[in-house]
């Protein structure tokens, strides 16, 4: 039992944190968001570092690392709320790699792995993350994913409340991704949950810093229990979604038989935790938190769209309860 | 990252499971809702099971071998409490001695004290209780007023303690008392072992909202404690008490986590049997509790890794007790909602659990205090007011 990152994974995390802190501070995020564009310089740099292909097999030009390493990068991406098409690209690559045919993999993965192609992922009728400029889109309908080349897709760009990403509504036939659909969608959910871990952690860090500085009645507002307890609650949510996302990433790499259960857990918990923690961050910042300049709103907006991408938490929870009941009925049945 | 158990840990679990399979604790006697006689039968059941654990060498695997333990690692200790819960066996009657008293003696006790006391703790022959809280010193432990006054080669103690679990069965009390009125609040305290078997110590069971009596008031009117029962030196009581408190939650978290899981599984079974899971709202609510139970388990394991790897708990270590009490209260409330009248009958299992769960967010540190601790020690916020 070792529920922690390896030395290599810690190094990846620290390097990613450092890189994004210097290349994608909030001024850059805001600039990209206000222009309705990605931060192209940052995206090129991340591609040169091989981020989009971190979990793609080496045979397809990726780095051949696992879901845990991908989770590490996405957590840091969320921490920075960086304006890049990384999430859509890695989600599309994950879906194609695990549920695609050899032909589909060969067609799309090499380009996605090095960032020559951008991907998108989302549901029919939903705002599909990173779809506005994508070359290839994975569209999910009723739990079944299909693959659409840009030329075959009807893409209607939408300015979502999260302007750090370029969303679109997408329609089109495409071709089915018919392989390990459950594994592919499970991994995608876990990856989104990992981004939300970073979003939550950033919201918490910003809030703790702010309430430790901001004084009213002669003391830092963080000394008031109403504020301090709100921060404690934010930590509870953050650590909870962290436990679920890390467990999921580990299961994806090392215990595929537990992937469905782990993905269900991550999907059920991450969206609400993200919304709760980032909403709390705005509240704890007071009036400042409601201003455009304060930057906490980027986290809140990202959390809202990520939560939507994960789908209904109550549906995930209901599915989990029925799964447990079914497993227990099977275990209790005479052999 | 590896969330599987090592060969050694698996062997430990297998051996333990085999032992539990061969040593059923038998059905749990009902707790009393009207008096204390049934409570005594319940305690006797736990005491008897501790003797069997002891005979099998399983009373305290987390203790060092030289004191009758198994040198179990933290993970093995977690496995032990999970399996104890899974076997639906009771916590050993002397849980406070095993988890708190023994480990405190191993740090602060001298050779004579260790030789005298550790054996009977392990066997359950002598039950221990914890005399820390007072009417005016609950969360604020350093405010204790119970006085110990030097008298020849011993001490005379006068004061009152409260919430003392198991005092009605205990032979020894881990007592924190004030020995120096002049010293600053934390510095005038001394940690004693008080013999409960004297007329100057009166135990009055407190009746809980469940009707049963787990905890008590202690009225101490000139009780005598010899010098050799001072633990860790005169005036050092605060430090010794902290050792006791630091041991308080470590292993128990895993026992409680498994108990929560069992209650939830039982409720899911009952709901399924009544066809309630077809209702999306019910399935959602049960799923929400499944999520909480799983997050608790995973977070507890992350905490274990943090301690094993870095020697100290990470932020997650402060959260598990809060998560557990919150989940257990919601779970028992949901049971009452789903099962209706039969969960509200006195003496019913769910009725009992519903009432007992209210204590979860108070016992062993209120949720409000835990939030303060998280805010100050984990997040580094200014001291709350």
Best CA proximity match to B200, nearest among B155, B164, B230, B157: B157
Q: Is A269 near chain B, with CB under 8 Å?
A: yes
For A219-258, where are the alpha helices, taking DSSP H only?
225-254
Look up the CATH number of the domain holding residue A118. Answer: 1.10.540.10
Residue matched to tokens 């040593």: B23
R_g of chain A, CA atoms, integer Å? 20
Q: Distance between CA A203 and CA B11 in Å, rounded?
A: 43
Nearest by Cα to B161 from B176, B171, B148: B176
Active site residue B337: no
CA B236/CA B360 separation, integer angstroms: 30
Q: What's the confidence (pLDDT) of residue B248?
A: 63
Question: B249-378: which CATH number, 3.40.1640.10, 1.20.140.10, 2.30.110.10, 1.20.1250.20?
Answer: 1.20.140.10
Please tell me whether residues A79 and A197 are part of one structural domain: no
Count other C-beta atoms under 10 Å from residue A7's C-beta: 7
CA distance A229 to A329: 41
pLDDT at B28: 86
B312 touches chain A (CB under 8 A): no
**Is the CB of B320 inside 8 Å of chain A's CB atoms?**
no
Answer whether residue A208 shows pLDDT above 80: yes
Question: How many inter-chain contacts (A to B, CB under 8 Å) are there?
Answer: 176
Give the integer Cα–Cα distance in Å for A126 and A139: 10
The percentage of chain B sitting over the pLDDT mark of 70, rounded to a whole number, equals 97
Is the pLDDT reported for residue B34 higher than 70? no
- Choose the closest CB to A220 out of B268, B301, B382: B382
Residues A283 and A324 grouped into a single domain: yes
- Give the C-alpha distances (Å, rounded to integers) separating A174 from A120, A281, A324, B84, B361: 14, 41, 35, 54, 54
B contacts of A240 (beta carbons < 8 Å) = 295, 299, 323
Name the burial class of residue A333, with classes exposed (0-12), middle (13-18) and buried (19+) by CB atoms within 10 angstroms of its CB: exposed
pTM equals 0.95
Q: What confidence tens digit (pLDDT) does each residue in A139-195 have?
A: 999 999 999 999 999 999 999 999 999 999 999 999 999 999 999 999 999 999 999
In this prediction, residue B347 carries a pLDDT of: 84
Sorted by where each begins, the domain ranges of chain B are: 7-93, 128-237, 249-378
pLDDT in the model for residue A335: 55
Catalytic residue among B38, B40, B248, B270: B248
Q: Please give the pLDDT value at position B94.
A: 96
- Which of B1, B80, B313 is the mutation pick for testing A, counting most A CBs within 10 A? B1
Q: Count of domains in chain A?
A: 2
Same domain, residue pair A186 and A166: no
| pLDDT reported for residue A332 | 83
**DSSP H helical ranges for chain A:** 7-23, 26-35, 40-48, 67-80, 86-99, 102-114, 181-213, 225-254, 259-284, 296-310, 313-332
Judge if A144 and A39 occupy the same domain: yes
Instruction: Please state which of the ranges A59-68, A193-202, B37-46 shows the lowest mean pLDDT.
Output: B37-46
Identify whether residues A43 and A132 lie together within a single domain. yes
- The pLDDT of residue B311 is 80
A275 and A207 part of one domain:
yes
Using an 8 Å CB-CB cutoff, list chain A residues near B8: none
Q: What is the pLDDT of residues B252-296, one digit of tens each?
A: 888 899 999 999 999 999 999 999 999 999 999 999 999 999 999
Indicate if the pLDDT at residue B249 is higher than 70. Answer: no
Kindly write down the DSSP assignment for every residue of A149-170, as one continuous string.
EGGG-EEEEE--S-TTS-EEEE
Are A28 and A132 within one domain? yes
Dihedral angle, C-alpha B53, B56, B57, B62, nearest 10 °: -40
Report yes or no: B299 at the A interface, CB cutoff 8 Å: yes
Residue of A nearest to B295 (CA): A240
Q: What band does A41 get if pLDDT is binned at 50, 70 and 90?
A: very high
B328-385, pLDDT tens digit by residue?
Answer: 999 999 999 999 999 999 888 999 999 999 999 999 889 999 999 999 999 999 987 6
* Euclidean distance between CA atoms A59 and B19, whole angstroms: 50
Does residue A244 share a domain with residue A132?
no
Distance from CA of B363 to the nearest CA of A (A): 19
pLDDT score recorded for residue A321: 97
Region B14-41: mean pLDDT is 82
Q: Which of A180, A197, A225 is the last residue of a domain?
A: A180
The answer on pLDDT for A299 being more than 60 is yes
Instruction: Assess whether pLDDT exceeds 70 at residue B37.
Output: no
Same domain? For A198 and A258 the reply is: yes
Q: Which letter does DSSP use for residue B124 in this model?
A: T
pLDDT at B30 over 80: no
Answer yes or no: is pLDDT of B89 > 90: yes
* A2 inside domain: no
pLDDT at residue B138, rounded to an integer: 85
Confidence of residue B40 (pLDDT cuts 50, 70, 90): confident
- Assess whether pLDDT exceeds 90 at residue B185: no
Q: Quick check: helix, strand or coil at residue A199?
A: helix
In this prediction, residues B57-78 reach a mean pLDDT of: 94
Say if residue A24 is in the same domain as residue A151: yes
Q: Which among A180, A214, A229 is the end of a domain?
A: A180
- Answer whether residue A95 is part of any domain: yes
Tell which of A180, A203, A222 closes a domain. A180
pLDDT greater at residue B32 or residue B298: B298
Q: Mean pLDDT throughout A28-33?
A: 97
Same domain, A149 and A222: no
* Average pLDDT in chain B: 93
Cα–Cα distance measured from residue A228 to residue A209, given in angstroms and rounded to the nearest whole number: 12
More confident residue, A125 or B31: A125
Mean pLDDT in chain A? Answer: 97
Residues A274 and A289 in one domain: yes
| CATH class of this structure's domain B128-237 | mainly beta
Is A101 inside a domain boundary? yes
Check which CATH number belongs to the domain holding A245 and give it: 1.20.140.10
Average pLDDT over residues B122-139: 94
B190: contact with A, CB 8 A cutoff: no
What pLDDT digit, counting tens, does each position of A235-273 carry? 999 999 999 999 999 999 999 999 999 999 999 999 999
Q: Answer yes or no: is A142 within a domain.
A: yes
* A290: enclosing H helix or E strand: none
Structural domain harbouring A261: 182-332
């Amino acid at each position: 039992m070792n529920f922690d990152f390896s030395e290599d994974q810690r190094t990846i995390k620290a390097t990613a944190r450092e890189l994004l802190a210097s290349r994608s501070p909030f001024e850059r995020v805001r600039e990209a968001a206000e222009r309705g564009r990605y931060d192209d310089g940052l995206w090129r740099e991340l591609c040169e570092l091989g981020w989009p292909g971190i979990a793609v097999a080496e045979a397809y030009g990726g780095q051949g690392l696992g879901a845990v390493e991908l989770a590490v990068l996405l957590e840091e991406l969320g921490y920075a709320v960086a304006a890049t098409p990384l999430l859509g690209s890695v989600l599309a690559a994950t879906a194609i790699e695990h549920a695609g045919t050899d032909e589909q993999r060969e067609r799309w993965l090499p380009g996605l792995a090095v960032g020559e192609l951008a991907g998108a992922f989302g549901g029919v009728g939903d705002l599909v993350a990173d779809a506005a400029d994508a070359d290839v889109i994975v569209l999910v309908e009723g739990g079944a994913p299909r693959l659409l080349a840009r030329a075959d897709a009807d893409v209607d760009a939408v300015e979502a409340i999260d302007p750090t990403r370029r969303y679109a509504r997408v329609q089109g036939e495409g071709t089915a991704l018919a392989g390990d659909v459950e594994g592919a969608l499970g991994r995608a959910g876990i990856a989104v949950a990992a981004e939300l871990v970073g979003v939550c952690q950033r919201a918490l860090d910003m809030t703790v810093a702010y309430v430790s500085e901001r004084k009213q009645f002669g003391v830092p507002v963080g000394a008031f229990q109403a504020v301090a307890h709100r921060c404690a609650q934010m930590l509870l949510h953050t650590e909870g979604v962290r436990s679920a996302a890390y467990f999921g990433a580990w299961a994806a790499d090392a215990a595929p038989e537990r992937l469905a259960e782990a993905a269900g857990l991550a999907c059920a918990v991450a969206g609400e935790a993200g919304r709760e923690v980032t909403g709390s961050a705005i509240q704890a910042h007071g009036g400042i938190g409601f201003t455009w300049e304060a930057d906490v709103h980027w986290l809140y907006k990202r959390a809202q769209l990520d939560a939507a991408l994960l789908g209904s938490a109550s549906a995930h929870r209901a599915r989990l309860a029925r799964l447990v009941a079914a497993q227990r009925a099977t275990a209790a049945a005479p052999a | 990252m590896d969330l599987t158990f090592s060969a050694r840990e698996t062997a430990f679990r297998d051996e333990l499971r085999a032992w539990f399979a061969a040593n059923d604790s038998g059905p749990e006697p009902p707790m009393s809702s009207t008096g204390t006689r049934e409570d005594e039968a319940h305690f006797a059941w736990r005491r008897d099971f501790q003797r069997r654990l002891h005979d099998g060498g399983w009373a305290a695997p987390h203790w060092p071998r030289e004191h009758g333990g198994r040198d179990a690692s933290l993970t093995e200790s977690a496995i032990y409490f999970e399996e104890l819960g899974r076997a639906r066996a009771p916590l050993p009657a002397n849980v406070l001695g095993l988890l708190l008293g023994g480990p405190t003696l191993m740090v602060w006790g001298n050779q004579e004290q260790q030789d005298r006391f550790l054996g009977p703790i392990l066997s359950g022959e002598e039950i221990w209780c914890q005399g820390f809280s007072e009417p005016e010193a609950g969360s604020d432990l350093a405010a204790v007023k119970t006085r110990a006054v030097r008298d020849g080669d011993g001490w005379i103690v006068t004061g009152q303690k409260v919430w003392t679990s198991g005092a009605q069965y205990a032979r020894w009390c881990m007592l924190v008392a004030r020995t120096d009125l002049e010293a600053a609040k934390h510095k005038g305290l001394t940690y004693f072992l008080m013999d409960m078997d004297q007329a100057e110590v009166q135990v009055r069971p407190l009746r809980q909202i469940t009707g049963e009596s787990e905890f008590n008031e202690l009225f101490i009117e000139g009780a005598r404690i010899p010098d050799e029962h001072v633990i860790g030196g005169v005036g050092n009581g605060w430090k010794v008490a902290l050792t006791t408190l630091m041991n308080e939650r470590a292993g128990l978290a895993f026992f409680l986590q498994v108990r929560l899981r069992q209650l939830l599984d039982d409720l899911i079974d009952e709901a399924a049997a009544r066809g309630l899971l077809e209702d999306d709202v019910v399935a959602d609510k049960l799923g929400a509790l499944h999520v909480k139970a799983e997050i608790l388990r995973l977070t507890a394991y992350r905490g274990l890794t943090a301690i094993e790897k870095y020697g100290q708990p990470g932020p997650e270590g402060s959260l598990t007790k809060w998560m557990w009490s919150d989940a257990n209260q919601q779970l028992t409330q949901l049971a009452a909602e789903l099962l209706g009248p039969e969960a509200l009958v006195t003496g019913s299992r769910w009725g009992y659990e519903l009432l007992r769960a209210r204590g979860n967010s108070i016992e062993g540190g209120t949720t409000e205090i835990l939030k303060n601790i998280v805010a100050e020690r984990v997040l580094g916020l200014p001291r709350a007011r």
